[in-house]
Each structure stands twice: as structure tokens, then as C-alpha cells.
């Protein structure tokens, strides 16, 4: 057999697997999004609805808009917090920074933990009767000891944000350390000699040169925040009520609990729009040509 | 404008000694070159003056102020970096203007001063470009302009020409010299290139292993080296160092050839230093010693003869019209006024009759 033919044959199994596990489900979900597809009735999917699932989400579903709002807020808050913390840590950990290797290794740990584990641990830590925070505040500031963190809409949201930021800081820090290492040291020293204070060196010289990496980090984190499901599922299951229900969780609930697969598929495809926008900018920054 | 005083300056990283208890007084408006091989402590010394490195011990004075605890920005120095250190995201104009901007110069003053600095280094037409769009030589000029745009007390230059190609380096060297004479600002210049040191310096400090080996004018350094290291480091080709001994006032090579009379007491081992230019090439039998030619090189402006001298090879410089063949025997005569004798163990210079 000729090498030309053989090399394509060798790739075929991988292509088939990708097609079966990714491409085909994608196409199917797009098809379902135009049907009435309920799992609690026979003959799946049922009637062709055209764009009715989509318009339904926009016009008649406050729960959809609630999850859009929660997801948007969640994305803005987590991206901002994670980036700021990661940038600060990266400045301390970068070559020439004030902390070094041992600490660096230790800080990677949260990223090595599975999201489920993070969720369970945070849920346990915030347990109002025997959680870590209960014990801590019991000693330090008793009025906060018996707060049911996950039962209050705002607090529950804050706890999820906290767990997510905590879990994502290490990865973003690592990427930013790499970015900082590629900022030429002599430009920083030149600025110091030229008369710039520490803050101005950062603002005028370090930050502009870090911008391409920073942009990639922000977009990447925004993509991950937009599709957050695991922390919500583990910590609050969208509650109390729907106070912490993100889009991913809303899609999950409507399709599995309420059996509305067609409608859930259409919401999932609506989510593709912001994702595409972010991915476009991500690709633009990553594959930027000078 | 100011003088610089380094008092017992030391820099250590763990066990490694970068600069070892050195004192140096750089006069006002002087152009001082720190010269030495890589790792000799010259750049470290300069970085300590700039404030980019903290000394382990000792004092740094600029003018009448001890600056040890001052940040670089408060020392009023300007520095040119080996890799230029230009801000890649700023235009050339903004690069040159930056030292003025961060020091709160009124906006109206900035533009004329940037333009003047750009004129001095002949960059006027590139002010709107980014550093990326300039050649190495042009970037070097930007770095220079950024240093001269304000009038600092001290200029620091860290191997500013080493990234340029050979031809450009010669041009830029002359421009640097011209500029420094014009500006008359105390300058410390670090290089490993002895030609740069010889041509630019008022005084040269030759360093090795964190210690200044000799401090003097380029003339002193070239014609009156303090030790074997300085003798071997300055000059191209390097000074010939011939092993031998001194017997009844004659220098005798290890091979047993009586070479030349020198006014030094007898000693068992000695090293004779002689520069290629201080040897003259004659016909066989006409010089102090007959040697055979190992290699003959014509550089255009002169000729270089590598000759086999017992077990050693020695380089002599001949007239540019001289033509010899490999293997030929020639007579070499040494200029008795320009011979140097060294102790092979310590490397110290052994002074000859009154010199």
C-alpha cells in the first residue's frame, strides 16, 4: 500500500471517534433545537417548531433571562477578581519578584484539584453547623458564625464566586508569570533609571508589554466563566430559588429535570453566540501576526 | 555634573565575589572606562552606581551625596543599555521624551528638548516610528538620545556598541567621542573591547575578578602595564609573553637562547613581554635571534609574522610591503626600550633599571 493512502487510513479511526462524540451530537442538538423534543412523550423528537424554541426563550421565560443575568454578572465578577489576584501574585512570583519557587509550587495545588472536589470542600467549609467558617467566626466574630451562607441569595453567589476565583487563580498566575518573564528586564531597568516610580514602571512599561498575554488570559477566563456549571451544581444547585442559576445549569435542569430537550438545545445554541465572539478575539490575540 | 566616589565597594552573591572591596574616584566631567573580560565585575560596578544592584558593603557617592539608599530614579543618572532597553510600545519620540515626562517636565518644554536630542544623534526623521522599525544602529541612537535629553549628573553606558556590526561600531565610537566632548558630563563606560577603551577614555580601569588591576590613562595602560594581565589584555595582537630566565643581565629563553640584555637582577624564572610592534623583522643573522616563519599574514595595513621561537610562537608585525614565505628564516630584533619583565608566579611586573 502506498504511504499516501496509508497515512489517511491511520487517521480515520480518530476522525470517526471525534465525529461520533463531538460533531454528530452537535448537529443533532442543532436539529433538536428546532423541534418540540420532550423526553416524557413518545416518538422523540416530536413536532417541527422552527424558531419557536428560540423566541419562547426570549419572550416567555423569565428563568432564561434570570440565568443570563446571573451568568453575565458571574462572568464579569470572576474574570475581574481572578485576573487582579493572579496579576498581583504573578508580580510577586515572577523572576525578580519577591516570592519564589517553593511557594510557586504550593500555589499550583488548587488548580490540580477537580472542580467537584473544590465544590464539595467549599460546601462543607460553609456549612452553618460544623463548617470551617462557622468554627472560625465562632471564635473571631460570633455574629457571623451562624449565618447560613448558601441559603442567602447574595451570599450564595459570593461563595460560588469565591470557590471559582480560588480554583482559577493558579492557572492564570502561571500564564501571567510566563508573560512577565518575557518582558525584557532592561526596559524595566531603563524606566527606573529614567526616573519612573515603581507604579509608573508598572503602568508605563510592564503592563503595556504584558497586554497581549493579559488579553488572552481575560478572554480565556471569560469563556470558562460563561459556561460555569460544576461549582453551581456542587454548591447550590442554582439556589436558593434560581439566585445562582447560570445558563449551563438552566440548560441542564430544563433538559434533565423537565425533559424539554428541544428547548434546552435551543438555549445551548444561544449560548454559542457570546462564545463565538470571545473565541474570535481569543484567536485574534493568540495568532496575532506582527 | 558631579564626581563619583566609590569607597571600598563590595558585591557578593553567596560565596561568589562580583566586586571585591574596590575604591575609585571618578573626576567631574571625566570619561572613565571600566575594561575587562566578562565576569570581571565591571558591569556590576556600573549597575551599583545606577542603583540597579545593591552593594554588599561600601559607599557610593555622586557629587556630595551618598546614594547607597537612593532609588535609581533619585540618583539623577542616565544609562544606555547593551540591548538598548527601548520601550517597544512607544514611538521614538515618546521613548526619548519618557525621562522628561516622568520627571514632570512642563509639556511645552518636552517637544523642543526631544527634537534637539534627536538632532544631536541624527534621528529627526524617525520620531514617529516604533523601535521595531529601526536598525540596530538607529536604536542605539535612540538610547543615546534618551540619555542626553535631560542633563543628568552622570552618564552610564553598558557596552553600548557591542550589538552593532564592526563597521557601524567604528562610526558610532567616533560619534560617542564627539558627543561626550561636547556634553562634558561625567561618564562611566563599560566594555570588554580594548579599542573602545583606548579611543574613548580619559582614564581606563582594567578589572579582573572584581579587582581593579590598573587605573590610568590609555597611554599608561598600553605603555606601562602594571602586571601581566593588563599587558596581555591590551593590544591587538596581544603582547607576546615569552618564558625564560634572567642570567647575568641577559634574558634567556627556556630553550637556552640568549635573547637580549635587560637591566634586571638574575632570576630562575621570568616572563618577557614584548609587543608585536616593538619587534622589527630583518634578514637572517641581522637580528637578536633567527627564527623560522610559522605563518605569514597580510592584513593590508601591515603584515603579521607568527614565528616559531623554540617551543613557543611569537607574533611580530612587519611593514605592509614585506613579503615572506612560510618556513623562511628571518632575524627578529627587539626594541630594548619597550621590553617588560614579569614574575610568572604572581604576574607582577618586574621593573627594569629605573623604569
Instruction: Please state, in angstroms and rounded to a whole number, the distance separating the CA atoms of residues B15 and B17.
Output: 6
> What pLDDT, on the 0 to 100 scale, is given for residue B156?
93
Judge whether residue B352 has pLDDT over 90. Answer: no
Quick check: is A139 in a domain?
yes
Same domain, A21 and A130: no
Contact with chain B for residue A289, Cβ under 8 A: no
Quick check: is B28 in a domain?
yes
Judge whether residue A100 has pLDDT over 70. Answer: no
Quick check: is A274 in a domain?
yes
Looking at every residue in chain B, the average pLDDT score rounds to 89
Task: Please give the residue range of the domain that contains residue B261.
Answer: 240-350
> What pLDDT, on the 0 to 100 scale, is given for residue B291?
87
Judge whether residue B88 has pLDDT over 90. Answer: yes
> What pLDDT, on the 0 to 100 scale, is given for residue B283?
87
> What pLDDT, on the 0 to 100 scale, is given for residue B264?
77
Contact with chain A for residue B73, Cβ under 8 A: yes
The answer to whether A208 contacts B89, with C-beta atoms less than 8 Å apart, is yes
Local structure of A188: helix, strand or coil: helix
Contact with chain A for residue B146, Cβ under 8 A: yes
Q: Which of A195, A208, A290 sits opposite B102 (nearest CB)?
A: A195
Q: Name chain A contacts of B84, Cβ cutoff 8 Å.
A: 186
pLDDT tens digits along B242-270: 888 888 888 888 877 777 777 778 888 88
Judge whether residue B316 has pLDDT over 80. Answer: yes
> What pLDDT, on the 0 to 100 scale, is given for residue A69?
92
Quick check: is A160 in a domain?
yes
pTM score of the predicted model: 0.79
Whether residue B137 contacts residue B158, with contact meaning beta carbons closer than 8 Å, is answered with no
Looking at every residue in chain A, the average pLDDT score rounds to 85
Same domain, B217 and B327: no
Label residue A210 by pLDDT band (50, 70, 90): very high
Judge whether residue A15 has pLDDT over 90. Answer: yes
Same domain, A81 and A23: no
Quick check: is A37 in a domain?
no
Q: Is the dihedral of CA A132, A134, A135, A140 positive or negative?
A: positive
Q: Which of A108-112, A203-207, B317-321 has the lowest mean pLDDT?
A: A108-112
Quick check: is A54 in a domain?
no
Same domain, A11 and A121: no
Task: Please give the residue range of the domain that contains residue A9.
Answer: 1-27
Mean pLDDT of the region B293-314: 88
Quick check: is A189 in a domain?
yes
pLDDT tens digits along B197-216: 999 999 999 999 999 999 99
Quick check: is A79 in a domain?
yes
Judge whether residue A200 has pLDDT over 90. Answer: yes
Judge whether residue B354 has pLDDT over 70. Answer: no
Whether residue B149 contacts residue B111, with contact meaning beta carbons closer than 8 Å, is answered with no
pLDDT tens digits along B115-162: 999 988 888 889 999 999 998 888 988 998 999 898 899 999 999 888
Judge whether residue A1 has pLDDT over 70. Answer: no
Mean pLDDT of the region A57-78: 88
ipTM: 0.82
Judge whether residue B191 has pLDDT over 90. Answer: yes
Quick check: is B66 in a domain?
yes
Angle at A170 between CA A164 and CA A174, to 5 degrees: 140
Label residue A97 by pLDDT band (50, 70, 90): low
Instruction: Please state, in angstroms and rounded to a whole number, the distance separating the CA atoms of residues A20 and A24.
Output: 5
Same domain, B252 and B225: no
Contact with chain B for residue A194, Cβ under 8 A: yes
Judge whether residue A146 has pLDDT over 80. Answer: no
Q: Which of B182, B208, B232 is the last residue of a domain?
A: B232
Same domain, B205 and B339: no
Q: How far is the alpha carbon of B325 from chain A, nearest alpha carbon, in Å?
A: 51
Judge whether residue B355 has pLDDT over 60. Answer: no
Q: Is the dihedral of CA A251, A252, A254, A255 positive or negative?
A: positive
Instruction: Please state, in angstroms and rounded to a whole number, the distance separating the CA atoms of residues B346 and B348.
Output: 5
Quick check: is B355 in a domain?
no
Same domain, B88 and B169: yes
Sheet holding B289-298, edge to edge: B279-283, B329-334, B289-298, B303-309, B312-318
Quick check: is A248 in a domain?
yes
The answer to whether A209 contacts B72, with C-beta atoms less than 8 Å apart, is no
For residue A196, give the chain B residue with the closest CA: B102
pLDDT tens digits along B33-54: 999 998 898 999 999 999 999 9
Q: What are the distances in angstroms from CA B302 to CA B198, B297, B321?
A: 20, 9, 8
Same domain, B222 and B273: no
Mean pLDDT of the region A131-137: 81
Quote the percentage of chain B above a pLDDT of 70. Answer: 99
For residue A210, give the chain B residue with the closest CA: B89
The answer to whether A194 contacts B81, with C-beta atoms less than 8 Å apart, is no
Same domain, B149 and B10: yes
Judge whether residue A145 has pLDDT over 80. Answer: no
Contact with chain A for residue B323, Cβ under 8 A: no
Mean pLDDT of the region A180-198: 91
Residues in chain A: 290
pLDDT tens digits along A150-161: 888 888 899 899
Same domain, A126 and A236: yes
pLDDT tens digits along B1-30: 689 999 999 999 888 889 999 999 999 999
Same domain, B253 and B226: no
Label residue A174 by pLDDT band (50, 70, 90): confident
Q: Name chain B contacts of A290, Cβ cutoff 8 Å.
A: 132
For residue A197, give the chain B residue with the closest CA: B73
> What pLDDT, on the 0 to 100 scale, is given for residue A96?
66
Same domain, A65 and A164: yes
Judge whether residue A259 has pLDDT over 80. Answer: no
Same domain, B166 and B254: no
Label residue A205 by pLDDT band (50, 70, 90): very high
Amino acid at each position: 500500500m502506498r504511504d499516501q493512502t496509508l497515512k489517511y487510513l491511520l487517521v480515520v479511526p480518530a476522525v470517526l471517534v471525534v465525529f461520533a462524540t463531538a460533531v454528530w451530537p452537535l448537529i443533532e442538538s442543532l436539529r433538536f433545537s428546532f423541534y418540540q423534543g420532550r423526553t416524557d412523550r413518545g416518538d422523540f423528537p416530536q413536532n417541527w417548531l422552527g424558531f419557536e424554541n428560540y423566541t419562547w426563550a426570549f419572550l416567555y421565560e423569565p428563568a432564561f433571562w434570570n440565568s443570563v443575568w446571573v451568568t453575565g454578572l458571574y462572568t464579569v465578577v470572576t474574570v475581574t477578581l481572578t485576573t487582579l489576584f493572579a496579576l498581583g501574585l504573578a508580580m510577586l512570583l515572577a523572576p525578580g519578584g519577591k516570592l519564589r519557587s517553593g511557594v510557586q509550587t504550593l500555589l499550583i495545588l488548587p488548580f490540580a484539584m477537580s472542580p467537584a472536589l473544590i465544590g464539595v470542600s467549599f460546601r462543607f467549609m460553609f456549612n452553618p453547623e460544623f463548617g470551617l467558617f462557622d468554627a472560625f467566626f465562632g471564635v473571631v466574630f460570633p455574629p457571623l458564625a451562624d449565618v447560613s451562607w448558601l441559603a442567602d441569595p447574595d451570599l450564595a453567589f459570593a461563595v460560588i464566586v469565591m470557590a471559582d476565583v480560588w480554583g482559577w487563580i493558579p492557572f492564570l498566575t502561571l500564564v501571567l508569570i510566563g508573560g512577565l518573564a518575557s518582558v525584557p528586564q532592561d526596559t524595566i531597568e531603563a524606566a527606573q533609571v529614567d526616573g519612573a516610580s515603581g507604579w509608573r514602571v508598572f503602568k508605563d512599561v510592564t503592563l503595556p508589554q504584558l497586554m497581549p498575554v493579559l488579553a488572552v488570559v481575560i478572554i480565556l477566563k471569560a469563556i470558562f466563566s460563561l459556561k460555569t456549571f460544576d461549582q453551581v451544581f456542587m454548591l447550590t444547585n442554582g439556589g436558593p430559588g434560581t439566585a445562582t442559576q447560570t445558563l449551563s445549569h438552566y440548560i441542564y435542569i430544563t433538559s434533565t429535570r423537565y425533559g424539554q430537550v428541544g428547548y434546552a438545545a435551543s438555549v445551548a445554541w444561544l449560548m454559542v453566540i457570546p462564545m463565538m465572539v470571545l473565541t474570535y478575539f481569543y484567536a485574534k490575540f493568540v495568532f496575532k501576526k506582527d | 555634573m558631579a564626581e563619583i566616589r566609590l569607597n571600598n565597594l563590595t558585591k557578593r552573591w553567596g560565596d561568589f565575589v562580583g566586586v571585591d572591596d574596590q575604591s575609585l574616584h571618578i573626576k567631574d566631567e571625566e570619561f572613565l572606562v571600566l575594561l575587562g573580560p566578562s565576569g570581571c565585575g565591571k558591569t556590576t560596578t556600573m549597575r551599583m552606581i545606577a542603583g540597579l544592584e545593591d552593594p554588599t558593603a561600601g559607599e557610593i557617592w555622586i557629587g556630595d551625596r551618598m546614594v547607597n539608599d537612593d532609588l535609581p530614579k533619585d540618583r539623577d543618572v542616565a544609562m544606555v543599555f547593551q540591548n538598548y532597553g527601548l520601550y517597544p510600545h512607544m514611538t521614538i519620540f515618546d521613548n526619548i521624551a519618557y525621562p522628561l515626562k516622568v520627571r514632570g517636565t512642563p509639556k511645552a518644554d518636552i517637544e523642543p528638548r526631544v527634537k534637539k536630542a534627536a538632532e544631536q544623534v541624527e534621528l529627526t526623521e524617525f520620531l514617529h516610528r516604533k523601535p521595531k522599525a529601526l536598525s540596530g544602529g538607529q536604536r542605539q541612537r535612540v538610547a543615546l538620545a534618551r540619555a542626553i535629553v535631560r542633563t543628568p549628573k552622570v552618564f552610564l553606558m553598558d557596552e553600548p556598541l557591542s550589538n552593532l556590526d564592526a563597521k557601524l561600531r567604528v562610526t558610532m565610537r567616533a560619534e560617542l567621542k564627539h558627543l561626550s566632548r561636547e556634553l562634558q558630563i561625567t561618564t562611566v563606560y563599560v566594555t570588554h573591547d580594548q579599542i573602545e577603551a583606548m579611543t574613548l577614555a580619559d582614564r581606563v580601569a582594567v578589572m579582573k575578578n572584581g579587582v581593579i588591576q590598573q587605573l590610568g590613562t590609555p597611554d599608561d595602560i598600553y605603555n606601562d602595564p602594571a602586571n601581566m594581565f593588563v599587558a596581555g589584555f591590551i593590544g591587538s595582537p596581544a603582547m607576546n609573553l615569552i618564558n625564560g630566565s634572567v642570567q647575568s643581565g641577559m634574558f634567556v629563553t627556556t630553550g637556552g637562547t640568549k635573547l637580549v640584555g635587560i637591566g634586571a637582577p638574575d632570576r630562575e624564572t621570568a616572563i618577557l613581554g614584548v609587543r608585536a610592534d616593538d619587534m622589527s623583522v630583518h634578514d637572517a643573522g641581522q637580528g637578536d635571534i633567527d627564527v623560522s616563519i610559522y605563518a605569514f599574514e597580510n592584513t593590508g595595513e601591515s603584515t603579521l609574522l607568527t614565528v616559531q621561537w623554540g617551543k613557543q610562537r611569537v607574533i611580530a608585525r612587519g611593514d605592509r610591503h614585506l613579503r615572506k614565505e612560510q618556513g623562511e628564516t628571518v632575524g627578529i630584533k627587539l626594541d630594548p626600550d619597550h621590553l617588560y619583565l614579569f614574575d610568572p608566579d604572581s604576574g607582577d611586573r618586574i621593573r627594569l633599571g629605573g623604569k
